[in-house]
Structure 1
Amino acid sequence: WQVLGAAALDLEAGRAALALAAGDRADAQATLLRLIAQGTHGWRAALRVLARARDRGMAAQVLMHVATPDTLPARQPALWLACGQLGVQLGQPAYARALAQALLRRTDTAVAYAWLAQLQQAAGQPDAAAATLNSGLRRHPLDAMLRLTRAAQLAQHQPAQALRLLTRGPQNHDTYALRAALAARMNDTAALRVLYAQMTRQPAAQQRADAWLLGQLAEWLQRPRAALRWYDAVPSAGAHGFAADLRRAVLLDRLGQTAQARALAAELAEQSCEDPRQYRQATVLQAELAYAARDYAAAIAAYNRVLLFDPDAWDLIYARGVVLADAGHAAAALRDFRTVLAAQPDNIDALNALGFTLADANRDLPEARSLLARALAARPGNAAIIDSWGWLQYRLGDYPLAISTLRKAWQLDRSAEIGAHLARALQAGGQHLQARRVLAQALKLDPRSRAAQAARREIGT
């Protein structure tokens, strides 16, 4: 290789690699010292050799010998970080912390404070990391990296303090993203409004770069048309392109453009057939949009397609069962719910769904009672389960208990289905005027509800 004219730096790197492979630590160290004497390119070559060494223990010893605070160039903190990261990979976190402390003493830069704090946090020293970051923020109060690192540390237990810290000083995409996450977690709508207004005052190019986050903010602030415009601006080939297209379909449906929403979901499913994760997301969205439009056949077909690729997706089998039940296919729905419970005996949603479907079909009521009693014990305040229990009492002919139970569910959740159940129980209990009043409210909530229509046929208007 040398005879053929190899570059001197490459030859030295090769010699160092051979020395490490042969277990000759002294030769490896001497060769690497000659490499790093050649400047930045030599340093990078040396680190590559050490990172690829088979004997990690020897590589760590050589690294700590050649890369010291005395040999590393003070004005190139990136090299210090690279050596520290390699030290961590080679099982020498204490060496990395010593480098970080030495860099901090020499440079007093924000990068050094942040690096040392991250290493202290990783070593299980959160108090030391906090002290380091606080010292760094006193020296560099507006540095975005320090603010982000400290805010991430505060986020779990002191989110409000983390948010205040991030709000001060210059902003970038990362500070905006963490501010949004913290404010959303605390349901701080005022902070979200301030953030959204601040981001929409950015230059147009920066707004386009942040379109995905702006779309999410607009959704949180219940501005669906604005969110749709932002999602339209997200590049399809970008990291968030597919997710933005999914949200576009959801928002189009929410804005009454159901045909466009369903067409977009179908297009996304077709385009993503080679990506199992994306195919599942798009096809499930197809099913959900079809179900919302009461196109039960299309919803069931979509669930069937995705279950061909993932037959043990219990959440999807459960979802298909819900559609089957609502479409009036009780036997098929019961099969799906039983399949889920066979795999997940403590699945409360499946317990409730199976119990309710049995009660609704007026069959196997003792089994329905057992299932729903378990579900109610697990979630005593859940409106859907209370509704199921009340509907079971209606089927059992205990109208006073059915009425009191369904009233409780109706107070918790004013849905058309619960209202329809309560109306029928009131009618059966002889409270005809009250039954009509509740039914009118249920029909106003959702005039196409299958349960409300069944109540209407029984009670009249």
Structure 2
Amino acid sequence: MVWRNSVLSRTVQFKQVRLFVAVGLVVLGLAGCAAVSHRAGSASTASPQPLTSLVVATPDSDHDLLAQLLAGELALSSSDLKAASQFYANAMMISSDPEVAGKAVALAIAIHDPEAARHAIDRWRKLGVSPAQLAQARAQLAVEQGQTEEASRQLALLIGSGDKDAWRMFGRVLIGSRDPALAGRLLESLGTPERLPADPKAWLAMSELGEQLNRHVYAQQVADGALKRFGTAETYAWAAQLKLNNGDRSGGLNLLRQAQVKDPNNIGLRLTYASLLGQSGQYVQATHLLEKGPQNAQTYALRAALAANAKDNKTLQQVYTQLSQASDEVRNTSNYLLGQLAEVLGRKEDALKWYDQVSDEDDHAFDADLRSAILLQDLGRSVEAHQQLAEMQTDYLDQPAQLRRAYEVDADLYLREKRYGEAIDSFSHALQVAPDDPDLLYGRGLAYAEIGKIDPAVADFHRLLQVKPGDVDASNALGFTLADAGRDLSEAEQLIATARAAKPNDPSIADSWGWLQYRLGHLDQAAEVLRNAWQTGKDADVGVHLGEVLWKQGHREQAQQVFDEVRRVDPHNVALQQTLKRLGP
């Protein structure tokens, strides 16, 4: 191990230099005395100084406590537990510090070396470890080796030691066991209500440990005992959790209600109880519960979520008003939520202001910037939107997931603006970060198709279907692109038929099928399919297709009526303008 030798050699060199300096000072002092003597007139030749041939002895690395401890910590930092255990075993033999021996014990047990553990425990005992710590270590070793009787004896000594942390130490021994069945048996035999202290936290800890070790009957018994003996809000809450774990939702809710009554200002209880009420669809009851009592960022967030699920805009407005006037501490940690609420309430400018106040350390900082970019475009400030996204693409260069998303949103905004070339560039950048991402391939394929670059569009859709076989949207998009270009119509028919079977009521797929029938010359069938799709959703592009089919059928008055309606739905529809120019009505 080169690193170990270099570290130890540097330590030894340091000690040698330190001793050399000290000895040097002594030599200088003696030399000074000799000089005075010589100046006093000694005529005899000075005899050699006795220190000139002195060899300074320094401890080797194996007996250097500092070197062993340093090497042990370096091994730990490299997750080399075996090496760390050896270094600490060496260190404890030259140290009188019980903590060093305690660490040697823990490492020996961690690497499953019982002989080294026993040796370390014996050394720890001689250095003065407490009875509780000694019993804990011996119990850990016994549990590790599957020695039930010895483990039980040592755990009994531990909990009988009177140490204030005895039950916590007891739990640590069992939760760290590689044999959950043995740990469960020891828990049931020793962690009995008769032995547990008059501390509700200890009862709850043992009950939770029993639940983790799949001793559900024991866990319930101890929880019931704690509820009966102490009756605190925490005991009600834990008993409720066990009910919920066992599928007894009504029983769990009832206990939580009682817990909340006992401690109405306990925010954690109110949040838990309200969450469960909300999951049961009891939005009004949950909201009323949260409205009362102290408020923090979590209560406001849950109130907003409950109101959103209930589509209760009045309550959303109330939460928004209250939160915007809350204390600085609560408001400053809720800027992202305030931005979301402002968006829902149609206050886009306010939402921008709130998002701008989200700190860089906030978990929602990235999402706030994304939402700001989208809002900027909605407000007609597209240049600022793309500038913000460009800054994000620089800021998140070393975070692929965020970088991909920033490029994707940039591309989506360009698609909205019908700036298809820029959209293609942004999708391409995103695909460099996340190659073969289905959503990115789909978006770029659509952009290629919009500007008539059919070959790369088809290539993207084909690649998407290789990555995600059977994808309905990709099948429909590829089928429509081929049909619109009037090529490979048999493949287009197969693709759209597959998509139609998967989503028979989807208007966009019906539009593709109707347009394919038009390209195949089946005008009556095309008109019927497109008319149904148009009446279902009044999508402008569907209307344009229907109008063209009606025109080709000779129903020009009907076609004109459809075109007029499309114009009312989407006055600036590009497909309508191109179709009217081509047909010349």
Bin of the TM-score, shorter chain as denominator length: 0.7 to 0.9
Which of 296, 307, 326 does residue 202 from structure 1 map onto? 326
- 1:213 counterpart = 2:337: yes
2:534 partner SS: helix
Letter in 2 for 1:81: L
**Equivalents in 1 of 2:382, 2:190: separation in Å?**
66
**Equivalents in 1 of 2:432, 2:203: separation in Å?**
52
2:445 partner SS: helix
RMSD of equivalent CA atoms: 3.0
**Equivalents in 1 of 2:345, 2:539: separation in Å?**
24
Q: What residue is the counterpart of 2:245 in the other structure?
A: 122
- 1:113 counterpart = 2:236: yes
Contact 1:356 1:372 in 2 (8 A): yes
Q: What residue is the counterpart of 1:228 in the other structure?
A: 352
**Equivalents in 2 of 1:47, 1:268: separation in Å?**
48
Relative to structure 1, the CA distance from residue 349 to residue 13 in structure 2 (aligned partners, 3 Å threshold; closer, same or farther) is same
**Equivalents in 2 of 1:267, 1:6: separation in Å?**
59
- 1:387 counterpart = 2:511: yes
Q: What residue is the counterpart of 1:132 in the other structure?
A: 255
Deviation at 1:116, TM superposition (A): 0.9
Letter in 2 for 1:181: A
Q: Aligned pairs, how many? A: 458
Which of 351, 355, 360 does residue 484 from structure 2 map onto? 360
Relative to structure 1, the CA distance from residue 381 to residue 190 in structure 2 (aligned partners, 3 Å threshold; closer, same or farther) is farther
Relative to structure 1, the CA distance from residue 393 to residue 169 in structure 2 (aligned partners, 3 Å threshold; closer, same or farther) is same
Percent identity over the alignment? 39
Residues 57-76 of structure 1 mapped to structure 2, 5 A cutoff? 57-75=181-199
Q: What residue is the counterpart of 2:459 in the other structure?
A: 335
**Equivalents in 2 of 1:273, 1:31: separation in Å?**
58
Deviations 1:364-385 (A, max 9, x none): 3343333333333433332212
Letter in 2 for 1:148: L
The two structures have a TM-score, normalised by structure 2, of 0.70
Letter in 2 for 1:375: A
- 1:82 counterpart = 2:208: no
Contact 2:436 2:463 in 1 (8 A): no
- 1:18 counterpart = 2:144: no
1:222 partner SS: coil
Letter in 2 for 1:38: D
- 1:32 counterpart = 2:155: no
Contact 2:472 2:499 in 1 (8 A): yes
- 1:104 counterpart = 2:227: yes
Structure 1 unpaired stretches of 5+ = none
Deviation at 1:405, TM superposition (A): 3.5
Q: What residue is the counterpart of 2:370 in the other structure?
A: 246
Relative to structure 1, the CA distance from residue 26 to residue 378 in structure 2 (aligned partners, 3 Å threshold; closer, same or farther) is closer
Q: What residue is the counterpart of 1:280 in the other structure?
A: 404
**Equivalents in 1 of 2:443, 2:282: separation in Å?**
35
Structure 2 unpaired stretches of 5+ = 1-100, 102-123
**Equivalents in 2 of 1:275, 1:11: separation in Å?**
48
Relative to structure 1, the CA distance from residue 174 to residue 326 in structure 2 (aligned partners, 3 Å threshold; closer, same or farther) is same
**Equivalents in 2 of 1:341, 1:360: separation in Å?**
19
Contact 1:234 1:244 in 2 (8 A): yes
Deviation at 1:411, TM superposition (A): 3.2
Deviations 1:187-212 (A, max 9, x none): 23233223223322322331121222
**Equivalents in 1 of 2:203, 2:446: separation in Å?**
58
1:380 partner SS: coil
Letter in 1 for 2:203: W
Q: Which entry has the higher C-alpha Rg, 1 or 2?
A: 2
- 1:160 counterpart = 2:283: yes
Which of 170, 173, 178 does residue 297 from structure 2 map onto? 173
1:155 partner SS: helix
**Equivalents in 2 of 1:165, 1:67: separation in Å?**
41
1:53 partner SS: coil
Between the two structures, name the one with larger relative contact order (CA 8 Å, sep ≥ 6). Answer: 1
- 1:183 counterpart = 2:298: no
Which of 384, 395, 398 does residue 271 from structure 1 map onto? 395
Letter in 1 for 2:460: D
2:183 partner SS: helix
**Equivalents in 1 of 2:539, 2:239: separation in Å?**
55
